[in-house]
Structure 1
Amino acid sequence: VCVFQSVHRGTVQPKADFDAGEDAAALKEAIEGIGTDEKVLVDILTRRSGAQRQLICEAYQEAAGRSLLEDLKGDTDDDFQHVLVALVTPLAAFDCHEVMRAMKGLGTEDSTLIEIFASRSNQQVKALSDVYLQGESQQSAMSKEQTQVLQSHDQAHLSMSVSLKLCLAVQTLYHAGEKKWGTDEAPFIDILCKRSVAQLRQTLVAYKNLSGKTLQRSIEGEMSGNLEELLVAVVKCVKNIPAYFAERLHDSMKGGGTDERTLTRIMVGRSEIDLLDIRAEFKKLYECSLLSAIQSDASGDYGECLKIICGGDD
């Protein structure tokens, strides 16, 4: 599914009068000195755009003869290291890293895979796939349903009118779910993962008019397990992607522990896209600001990074 990308609503903006060499020299000094000057790392890396951080990485490599990424890994640890690594890694490569991490070991971290594949645009999924396929085979590591969803991003849409496609899509979903004994999952995967967001938004309205139920309720009633979670996530992203991420952020911080991986991935990944909108949805849904939630759950240099990325209170 081609997820809607809004006009820039990020909290991180490019720095005016930017000098990659100057920043690289300051980072090099902060890392090579006696002890690590974490404040310099935080101040520079959280206050530059992703493109500027990549230029800093190039300048650092030239000045130090080492990669900034490896030096950060060597001089920091735990959640602080993870957020700095996320900041200096291009989005597609970091998405790929998170996908591979989620599939590594005995169990699969399904919620991470679902979040990434449900919320990324076609172009982002293609970029992730290109990075991934340079490593190991994607097909062998992913489930059948996840593979179908990924493959659907690269398939051409049928050349029929929007109204006819909408009508057929709604009828197909209805007869594959509500009107059928048992559920034919293939049409749900096919339609939800091959239509544009504009078409899917029309489909959601038309489906409710036809069946009397929201498509999300039908999916939740007819399916189970990871496929249900994946398709519900797609529907949520179609309806309101900032609200989806606000929900994910809230879930990462509620309860007794914090899911720092999810918190970092979303804060960094959406910082130049729509984090202002996510902040607004968070306040609307949970009656507290995202910044106040972060202040309660994240501390030290890690927490300072997230607070700067958050960009303010609401």
Structure 2
Amino acid sequence: MGSLWEDLESLVEAPSSFTAKAGERGTVKAKVAFNADEDAKALRKAMKGLGTDEKTLTDILAHRSSAQRQLICAAYQKATSRMLLKDLKDETSGDFKDLLVALVTPPAEYDCHEVMRAIKGVGTEGDVLVEIFSSRSNQEIKALTEAFLKETQKQLTTELEKKVSGDFSKALLLLAQGNREQDTSADVEKAREDAKTLYSAGEKKWGTDEAKFIEILCRKSIPQIRQTLVEYKNISGKTLQQSIEAEMSGNLRNLLVAVVKCVKSQPAYFAECLHNSMKGGGTHESTLTRIMVTRSEIDLLDIRAEFKKLYNHSLQSALQSEVSGDYGDCLKAICGGDD
């Protein structure tokens, strides 16, 4: 597994999902001859009366873009005076219900709900926060923040601050501002300086100066960090990821490693997250649902390709053996085929 994250040769020139245009590398595309009224009618029929026709729900909702699903919700309400979201919640259950709810929720609101769920109650689900804030673009974070304010009348950063502490909190709050620098090319000289700064703040000294790592990794642009990773390896002989893993612990380590992985390759990062959510004894369905839905229109084709490269079997075949029933069928529909 290490080898993937240690290959820096082609890194600086590689495309990044942070800048991918929605729809280009997704598995879910807008349906061409789309009719929201017909879809709404078919969905109502699938849930009316005794028993639910789950196959129709999947056939429609897994094969429409997020924007089209919003039009279906509006058509459904107009035709029936009912809320599609509420009917789906009433007529389905378990993981399948959660998946359908995710599909009909606009992306920013869905991210917002996942963050709210992660910080609710005692103990915070650090891994959810790590995954979302390390992988979202400035625009996506701004949209999440607006959705959060609209739903809770509270500022996202203020609420996060109450729930997380220490250096993890500092890094998370920087990312949650959605102010990552946006340069499209790297300044090699600066990258070399930053690499030296990181080397001096970590490997070279007794104890680690986390603030330097946070400042550079959570603020600099993607091309700039990529160049810094290359320079760091030249200076220290190790990858920055190896240094972070050796020098830090807990949520901060997880977050900074995730940032570095996303900077290198979001599709590879998500392929690894998907694999981890299915390996071992039991499946982490909420992670599986979140990644499959949120990446379905962005880069799921690339995630599938990386998954195959990393694990020598396709994402589709992993889903085939790990998830079953209506939930499994719907996930496989979103996955969109074998590799």
Equivalent residue, structure 1, for 2:86: 70
Q: Is the contact made by 2:267 and 2:303 (CA closer than 8 Å) also made in structure 1?
A: yes
Instruction: Find 1:6's aligned residue among 20, 30, 35.
Output: 20
The DSSP-based 3-state class of the residue aligned with 2:51 is coil
Distance 1:3 1:176, change over 3 A: farther
Segments of structure 1 that go 5 or more residues without pairing to the other structure are: none
Equivalent-residue separation in structure 2 for 1:46 and 1:147 (angstroms)? 38
Alignment of 1:242-281 (within 5 A): 242-281=267-306
- Give the distance between the partners of 2:79 and 2:159, measured in 1 at CA: 41
Q: Distance in 2 between matches of 1:147 and 1:126?
A: 18
Q: Is the 8 A contact 1:114 1:233 kept in 2?
A: yes
Residue correspondence of structure 1 range 210-225 to structure 2 within 5 A: 210-225=235-250
Say if 1:192 and 1:231, in contact at 8 Å, map to a contact too.
Answer: yes
The equivalent residue for 2:333 is: 308
| Residue 205 of structure 1: aligned partner | 230
Given the alignment of the two structures, is residue 43 of structure 1 paired with residue 59 of structure 2, yes or no? yes
- Code of the residue aligned with 1:143 in structure 2: it is V
Aligned to 2:214: 189
Give the Å deviation of 1:290: 0.6
Residue 95 of structure 2 corresponds to 79
- Tell me the matched-pair count: 312
Q: Quote the residue 2:13 is aligned against.
A: none
User: What residue number does 2:8 align with?
Assistant: none
Return the match for 1:150 from 156, 173, 193: 173
Unmatched segments (≥5 aa) in structure 2: 1-15
1:19-38 pair list within 5 angstroms:
19-38=35-54
In the other structure, the counterpart of 1:173 is: 198
Shift of the 228–156 alpha-carbon distance from structure 1 to 2, 3 Å rule, reads: closer
Q: Distance in 2 between matches of 1:291 and 1:150?
A: 36
TM-score w.r.t. the length of structure 2 is 0.87
Question: What is the CA–CA distance in structure 1 between the aligned matches of 2:315 and 2:134, rounded to whole Å?
Answer: 22
1:151 to partner: Cα distance: 3.3
| TM-score, normalised relative to structure 1 | 0.94
Conserved in 2, the CA contact under 8 Å of 1:219 and 1:232?
Answer: yes
| TM superposition shift of 1:147 | 5.1
Task: State how far apart, in whole Å, the 2-side matches of 1:224 and 1:36 are.
Answer: 47
Equivalent AA in structure 2 for residue 98 of structure 1: E
Residue 159 of structure 2, aligned match among 133, 137, 140: 140
Partners of 1:240 and 1:13 lie apart in 2 by 22
The corresponding residue for 1:56 is 72
The percentage of counterpart residues that share the same residue type is 63
Q: Whole-Å Cα distance in 2 between the matches of residues 13 and 230 of structure 1? A: 31
